[in-house]
Amino acid sequence: MNDRPKTPTLDRVNLPSDMKALTDRELRQLADELRAETISAVSVTGGHLGAGLGVVELTVALHAVFDTPRDKIIWDVGHQCYPHKILTGRRDRIRTLRMGGGLAGFTKRAESPYDPFGAGHSSTSISAGLGFAVARDLGGDPGDAIAVIGDGSMSAGMAYEALNNAGHLGKRLIVILNDNEMSIAPPVGAMSSYLTRLYTGGPFQELKATAKGAVDLLPEPFKEGARRAKEMLKGMAVGGTLFEELGFSYIGPVDGHDLDQLLPLLRTVKSRATGPVLIHAVTKKGKGYAPAENAADKGHATGKFDVITGQQAKAKSNAPSYTAVFAKALIDEAGRDHKIVGITAAMPDGTGLKQFAERFPRRSFDVGIAEQHAVTFSAGLAAGGMKPFCAIYSTFLQRGYDQIVHDVAVQGLPVRFAIDRAGLVGQDGPTHAGAYDTAFLANLPGMVVMAAADEAELMHMVATAAAYDDGPISFRFPRGEGTGVDLPERGQILPIGKGRIVSKGKGVAILSFGTRLSEIFKAAEVLAARGITPTIADARFAKPLDRDLILTLAASHDALITIEEGAIGGFGSHVAQLLGDEGVFDQGLKFRSMVLPDRFVDHDAPFAMYDSSALNAEHIETKVLEVMGVEKLADRRA
């Protein structure tokens, strides 16, 4: 049983303004209680634990020193915002985190004035912070802008675009680099190595903290000594920092868990800073909770767990996950073809490429949080004669769309896009929904777009992509476990642009694209009890469409319904375009397209999200009866 901790100091804090009356000693006690409360809450709800535990002291210090919400704290991504939510009037709802109707798992403007900028994707905080700073100076909302960004997020180009612009403009902007050497996966790349060198200078560390600091912020008697120390360091170390060259005053590294360092530093910066300042805080993800500190991912994302043991309560899986099936199929294909390589953008675990990397380390590449680079890097690999599988979540692939168009599609390069987390993903909500990839890929000339109806179909699509060299090809699959179908020894190569009839019926045909097929089967069972037997087909391809299949279904049925786990403008729209161009509607065909609603679907359990989107079996049954002009039994009784 997870008993709530005793939190006498935290009980006195309903809003950050209540912290102004606390002494520094009481703030240290507050941090300890805030950490305990965060652990207790996430043990009940599940969620992103390690990131929040790593910024407890920083969260306390920021709210104690600055005047939120007038001053705006912008949390990059938002994984680490749970302690912030507890301190900003949401403690009474913190155990509704990521539940339907409860608190969002990320910052959300509509949820609280203390969330000035919503997040979910990384590397946006400095750009947003600079926007707030410029707006302030142009007569907009007053107050400071403080961007808190992790070292993992600093691997993305957008962060440097913002740093470069901020240094040029010279506006008062505070950036806190939360350097925990641990994003979701271990950070990769030259920037990670650079940051490590900055704080591993042995006896120079304290000297660096002064010499690399913002000299102008120091009291007058110390300025000259700091300048001399800085000049001396230039002869002993690398000399200057990247951040200083970009126009920032650099302070650090400082211990991000030591309030005795953080509080006076932030107070000095608040009172004296005139231009852009970057504070380099070294923290530990999962700090203060041994099970998180000792976990491979530092407790990045957890289910519900026992506070004492850290043991997570996970339901037994009845079928392998789609991600695991993809990984196994890709490894199998790569064992036969030495040209197959895997690319991911900081998500080796989530995409299944961790297993691929263990088997083929020389052919596996994690490029960090850099989806644009991942896509163009894959294009270069393809142009160089390799067979790249670029494995990126649907929501993150959006960030590389320009590169998909110009670097892949225009050049007709055979990049294989493995799109995980397709459709609605549950508790992470709209920022992580895989709603748009079918629409934004299927409109590109020469792009092959597939969706797996089940895990066996996914294996076929991996094999198909491996064998396809005529241009770019993609296949999408959802989060979570499969349907439990029998898996083949090896995937079969599918004929491009050809779907399949799953079961024959009459009157109405249902054409599925993706994993709603299992919900169609459930609806068909209910319909069968009423003597209605729709034809069920699996399109497999949104591009190229199976013209023969679609036109045959249209000619032999009174009505045709398409179903997909994507936004309007995707598969159903392409089918409608084909039917319209062929004059089928002139012959009186009834056509309906079931898609995600034209709104952002709030976080909830996946079934509930699809329920609110009217895409579950009950809604499919209703749609069939509606198009056939038959009332539901419940409606008759009403």
Q: Which residues are catalytic?
A: 285, 371, 399
| Sequence ranges of the binding site for Mg(2+) | 151, 180
The first and second tokens of residue 507, run together, are 């009157």
- Work out whether the CA dihedral 259, 260, 263, 269 comes out positive or negative: negative
To the nearest 5 percent, what fractions of the chain are helix, strand and coil? 45, 15, 40
594 with 615: CB under 8 angstroms? yes
CA distance linking residue 286 with residue 269, whole number of Å: 27
Number of C-beta neighbours around residue 273 at 10 A: 18
Query: In this structure, are residues 600 and 434 in contact, taking their beta carbons and an 8 Å threshold?
Result: no
Antiparallel, parallel or unpaired: β 249-255 and 276-282: parallel
Is the Cβ–Cβ distance between 593 and 573 less than 8 Å? yes
Rounded Cα distance between 260 and 262, Å, is 6
Strand order in the sheet with 500-503: 500-503, 535-538, 508-513, 559-564, 590-594
Answer for the pair 213, 228: CB distance below 8 angstroms, yes or no. Answer: no
Question: Which tokens sit at 618?
Answer: 């009950």
Reported as type and span, the H/E element at residue 429 is none
Q: How many CB atoms lie within 10 A of CB 590?
A: 15
CB-based contacts of 636: which residues, under 8 Å, 6+ apart? none
In the block, tokens 């952002």 appear at 600
- 3 state DSSP class of 214: coil
Residue 388 corresponds to which amino acid?
P
How many C-beta neighbours within 10 Å does residue 597 have?
13
Are the C-beta atoms of 124 and 145 separated by less than 8 Å? no
Residue list, annotated binding site for thiamine diphosphate: 79, 120-122, 152-153, 180, 289, 371
Annotated binding residues, written as ranges, equal 79, 120-122, 151-153, 180, 289, 371
Cα separation of 94 and 630, whole Å? 46
Q: How many CB atoms lie within 10 A of CB 11?
A: 11
Query: What is the number of other CB atoms lying within 10 angstroms of the CB of residue 411?
Result: 14
What one-character-per-residue DSSP string does 482-505 give?
---PPPPSSPPPPPTT--EEEE--
Which residues is 597 bridged to in the sheet?
A: none
Q: SS3 string of 431-476?
A: HHCECCHHHHHHCCCCCEEEECCCHHHHHHHHHHHHHCCCCCEEEE
In contact, 163 and 174? CB cutoff 8 Å:
no
CB 552 within 8 A of CB 540: no
Under 8 Å between Cβ of 326 and 418:
yes
CA-closest candidate to residue 356, choices 331, 387, 325:
331
Q: Where are the beta strands (DSSP E) in 467-583?
A: 473-476, 500-503, 508-513, 535-538, 541-543, 559-564
Amino acid at 435: A
